[in-house]
């Protein structure tokens, strides 16, 4: 991305991470944000008591280690919604629809689908907690959905935000100019 902390870049005056958290906040019982030690104080302040901030002791090990740290730190739950912090365009309505589908799905993995293509976030049932807690490297849970393909439910959504993460400067500039 070319900047030290893309999650703090402003999007309509609000840090990118805060926009992502706000889309989830009223849809789930608990929000856990996983960060590196270097930005933990800043993120704790940004969260304003709206969730738990967990330091990933090995962020260099990739997104899998962050997911594992977050799930290990979360309260026991019927399910775990996994959404990367750099996806601020996922709509609250989409998350609410996924949560409702998860409740109805009877222990299935729930993923959003638009135009035949899966996106994020995914909601994993409690039985997948061991798999989530052992993620490492660049594995973001897709391997779990492949391994348990017969237990995955796709939920049709109209939200293109399920695909839009902010990884490159062009992604950020497109995001800012679209709002």
Q: What is the pLDDT of residues 90-131, one digit of tens each?
A: 999 999 999 999 999 989 999 999 999 999 999 999 999 999
**Per-residue pLDDT, 113:** 98
Q: What is the pLDDT of residue 137?
A: 86
Angle between helices 16-25 and 40-47 in degrees, nearest 10: 50
Domains in the chain: ranges and CATH: 6-178 (3.90.550.10)
Strand-pair partners of 122: 82
CA–CA separation, 96 and 28 (whole Å): 8
The pLDDT score that the predictor gives to residue 5 is: 79
- The pLDDT of residue 38 is 85
- Per-residue pLDDT at 139: 83
Q: Which two tokens stand for residue 29?
A: 């019982």
Residues of the chain with pLDDT under 50: none
Question: What pLDDT does residue 67 have?
Answer: 96
């Amino acid at each position: 991305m070319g900047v030290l902390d893309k999650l703090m870049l402003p999007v309509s005056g609000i840090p990118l991470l805060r926009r992502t958290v706000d889309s989830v906040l009223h849809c789930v019982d608990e929000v856990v944000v996983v960060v590196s030690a270097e930005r933990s104080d800043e993120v704790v302040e940004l969260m304003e008591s709206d969730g738990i901030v967990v330091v990933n002791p090995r962020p260099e090990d990739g997104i899998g280690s962050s997911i594992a740290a977050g799930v290990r730190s979360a309260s026991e739950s019927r399910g775990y919604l996994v959404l990367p912090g750099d996806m601020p365009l996922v709509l609250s309505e989409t998350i609410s629809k996924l949560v409702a589908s998860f409740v109805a799905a009877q222990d299935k993995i729930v993923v959003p689908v638009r135009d035949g293509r899966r996106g994020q976030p995914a909601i994993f049932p409690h039985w997948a907690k061991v798999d989530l807690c052992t993620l490492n490297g660049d594995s973001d849970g897709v391997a779990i959905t492949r391994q348990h393909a017969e237990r995955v439910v796709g939920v049709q959504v109209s939200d293109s935000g399920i695909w839009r993460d902010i990884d490159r400067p062009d992604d950020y500039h497109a995001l800012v100019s679209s709002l």
